[in-house]
Structure 1
Amino acid sequence: MTSARVFAFRILQHIERTGAPADETTNRMVATAHVEPRDRGLTVELVYGVLRHRGTLDWRLDLVSDRRMERLPLPIRTALRLGAYQLLYLERIPASAAVNESVALAKTVRGRDWSGFVNAILRTLQREPVAPWPDPTTNPVNAYAVRYACPQWLVERWIARFGTADAERLCQATVTIPPLTLRVNTLRSTREALQAQLLKAGVDSHPTSVSPIGLILKKQGAITDLPLFYEGSFYVEDEAAQLVPPLLDAQPGERILDACAAPGGKATHLAAIMQNRGEIIALDQSAARLHLLADNCRRLGISIIASVQMDAARLNGPVSSRHSVLLKPFDRILLDAPCSGFGVLRRHPEAKWHKHEALLTQQQARQLAILIHVSRLLRPGGIIVYSTCSTEIEENEQVIERFCSDHLDFSREAVMPWLPIPGRSLVNPSGDLSTMLSPQSHSMDGFFAARLRKAG
């Protein structure tokens, strides 16, 4: 067996057993196992490909098997999905290799009987690689769930909210490979200069459609291996995320709170906007992620960010002496709230299978509590920007509406004046930023952001 398939097999099983994030799990297990560079690319391709298309793979395997995938042992499901993904989606992989390696995996973990079963199923799939898709005119929920590997409850929800055409575009976007997008570190470069430097290094790119400081690479690659990365010329960040910090309109010399900051994409963007003058307090409950933020600050040449390890949800009481840095009111607060992540499913495809609709109500309660807590730290006349990487109304508009109805000293402000002209089509009727995960929104992730002003 090749190392890539063995590592992908182990990673996929760990993700399904634990619900752990695919990116953190893959990076950690690849680094710990010292995976050879030649195997890393295929390992990542297999892990994300299986997660991205899992529902479709299970449907195709169920068509050629007398045993439903959901009833099979996890190691056998994983071996079958790996084999099926290679057979159906990776033309460069010989069919014999796809089948034989999966059979060998099954034999190693479950013995000869199960390896024979895996062999029979994958050989049948190899002979019958094409099957008619379910008819969307008779049952669009099932059709989109199968074709785009989305949970049926999520498809039902999107059809009810957006109609069948837009729901299909959203579902389709979850199985697309997202572009690799960079944010220029304006403390060290300009977009034009960075684009020229990248081209000189053999990396072609084009400007983002809306963000004035973004570049989209024309090919995926190990961009973080470039000297330009270590020199702090850019930060890897989706275009939608780049639109959020400017909504705060932070000024040099001001005191800013980033309430859920790590690993620092928006905090470092704010520091650049402020010309590295002022004070940014970066709050996060994860020590490991705050270490990443510190690494990013060093790389990007940023000195005004101070981190505090604390859960923003616990800001409901008096601030302790250990966190005295929070005692002085803030001029502006960014709350990029923890959320379902349904706007970034193409980047985190495992979330399709680990999250459920009830989570939206649970998250809303937490998001509202954090917003209430941080609002007490804002000076009169100050600004809060609340954002999520979710497309769902419970985590976005409803949080803002509930907060404003109970806090009459806050008013909602339209975000349009702080958006580049090409981005003004992304403003919803309430005046908030609301990108949708579809080609119609410039191929951005799904993000929401609202701007609130405190009276005074």
Structure 2
Amino acid sequence: MRLLVKWREDEERVDWLLESLPADMPAGERARVQALLVGTVRHLGRIDGHLDALMTRPPRPTVWAGLAVAGFELLEGGADEGLKARVCHHLVEQVKRLATAKEAGFANAVVRKLAAALAADVEPAADAPMADWARWGSHPDWLVQRWKMKFNQDAAVAFLRWNQSAAPVLVRWRGEAAAKAELPEWLTPIEGAPDFFSAEPGHWPELAAWIERGEMQVQDAATRHAVDLLQVQPGETVLDLCAAPGGKSLAIADRLGGSGQVVAMDLPGRRMPRLQRNLEAAPSGVKATVVAGNVMQGAARVLTAKNLPTTYAAVLLDVPCSNTGVMRHRVDVKWRLQPDSFRRHAIQQLDMLLAAAERVAPGGRLVYSTCSVDPEENEQVVAAFVRRSHGAFKLEESVMSLPWETGHDGAGAFRLRRV
């Protein structure tokens, strides 16, 4: 409840809030807090819609948060009458503790009506108006209308359903090929994505042990497209711009065949320590260098100060974007986006791509990647860049991953060659 209030009142990101949990919190309790917070934010549009209809005026933020979390627990529990009674009782006790007894009585009356409203709420028909799907699927109406226009109604509905499903832990196998054949059945291979697996819940201790030994990395299968298109060659020195938190940087290091170097650059900040930790797992013989710098300003100076090259045969630019391809993981993205977000992102992305091009050696490869499914941030940015390069770069190959088709996160990746 406290985290949900901070998310709404202070506009803090869900992943940052979860990172703020006490380090000594028991693993089971931490997992439940994460499940409740993520689940509530994922379904908040639907829950809030019913709450607004049941209350004449909004309660204090703490009481609202309790009602919202209880709403998710009711959705999660389905038709279990016993669970409904337990959720109502627990909500009353928590509101008494965090607010007042009078507000607890109010919450008790509202949550019982909320339980009935949620139980009667059924999925719209496939051809129902998109506004109905947006309400039921807890997405802003303008966003699902946009997807209907960009794709079609069936795709928009499939995408919305995808975003509302719980995201499993996906991992990339880094260990020996022979050992991969002995992996347990609760690791399901991702179709079309060699070395990537979906892990069933309840096996984090085993996964953590593999990660600690350097045999696995938590990573979505969509990230492979950018690394594949980069065509890393053993012994190369590769520049990864906007590298944090480092999943793609480590994948590049794994492709270097035991020799070469990864130079991972990103802005200084809270994600840099994680980038450093991820690259500590780079294979023996591969040098991994973390650089705090800005691709848009002074990158060459920073690289020179570190005795590093200023141009590279292979450069990866994974730009900040709308994150529409990863909404199943980043559940608060849909509530942060605004209709003009895509235009603003595209302007910044083109500027970053033009700056990254200066780091590409003659004949070198530049891969532009996003975790967006929207053309404004993918094909249109790349087309604008090619025009602005006046023949200096050509588009060689591209991949678009659409979650409702691939079964994993969405992404765009484009390989450009300096002529």
TM-score, normalised relative to structure 2: 0.92
1:4 is aligned to: none
2:304–2:310 contact (8 Å) kept in structure 1: no
Gaps of 5+ in 1: 1-8, 415-431
Deviations along 1:402-431, whole A, 9 cap, x unmatched?
1111102100012xxxxxxxxxxxxxxxxx
Q: Given the alignment of the two structures, is residue 263 of structure 1 paired with residue 220 of structure 2, yes or no?
A: no
Counterpart of 2:102 in structure 1 is 113
Q: 1:413 to 1:154 in 2, by over 3 A?
A: same
**1:29-428 counterparts in 2 under 5 A?**
29-31=21-23, 34-63=24-53, 65-67=54-56, 71-90=58-77, 94-133=83-122, 140-185=129-174, 188-190=175-177, 192-196=178-182, 198-199=183-184, 204-219=186-201, 221-223=203-205, 226-301=208-283, 303-315=286-298, 319-320=301-302, 323-325=305-307, 327-407=309-389, 408-414=391-397
Partner of 2:4: 12
From 425, 435, 440, the equivalent of 2:401 is 435
Deviation at 1:259, TM superposition (A): 0.3
Counterpart-to-counterpart distance in 2, 1:433 and 1:239: 13
Deviation at 1:35, TM superposition (A): 2.0
CA contact (8 A) 1:195 1:205 kept: no
Mean Cα deviation higher: 284-293 or 268-277: 284-293
Change (3 A) 1:53 1:277: same
Structure 1 ranges of 4+ moved more than 6 A: none
The amino acid that maps onto 2:320 is: P
Distance 1:324 1:304, change over 3 A: closer
* Counterpart Cα distance in 2 of 1:298 and 1:342: 30
Separation of aligned partners in 2, 1:356 and 1:99: 35
| 1:140 and 1:164 in contact (8 A); partners too | no
1:134/1:146 contact within 8 Å kept: no
Q: Comparing 291-300 with 321-330, which one deviates more in the overlay? A: 321-330
Match of 1:21 among 9, 13, 17: 13
Distance 2:201 2:102 in 1: 43
Asked whether the equivalents of residues 124 and 136 of structure 2 are also in contact (C-alpha less than 8 Å), the reply is no
What is the count of residue pairs matched by the alignment?
415
What whole-Å deviation, never above 9, does each CA across 1:421-445 have from its counterpart, x for those lacking one? xxxxxxxxxxx2111121x22x110
Which moves more between the two structures, 134-143 or 290-299? 134-143
Instruction: Work out the CA distance in 2 between the residues paired with 1:128 and 1:157.
Output: 28
1:234 is displaced (CA, Å) by 0.9
Displacement, 1:242? 2.1
Structure 2 unaligned spans of 5+? none
Q: Secondary structure at the match of 2:120?
A: coil
Matches of 2:246 and 2:126 in 1, distance apart? 45
Q: Could you say if the C-alpha distance between residues 30 and 356 of structure 1 is closer, same or farther in structure 2, counting changes exceeding 3 Å?
A: farther
- Whether the aligned pair in 2 keeps the contact of 1:338 and 1:388 (CA below 8 Å) is yes
Does structure 2 conserve the Cα–Cα contact (< 8 Å) formed by 1:246 and 1:273? no
Shift of 1:279: 1.8
Partners of 2:112 and 2:50 in 1: how far apart? 13
Instruction: Tell me which amino acid in the other structure corresponds to 2:401.
Output: T
Cα distance in 1, alignment partners of residues 117 and 279 from structure 2 = 53
Tell me which moved more, 276-285 or 330-339.
Answer: 276-285
Residue type at the aligned position of 1:434? M
Per the alignment, residue 417 of structure 1 pairs with: none
Q: Distance in 1 between matches of 2:169 and 2:247?
A: 15
RMSD: 2.3
1:61-103, Cα deviation, whole Å (9 max, x unpaired): 334x1336xx443222211111111122225772233112222
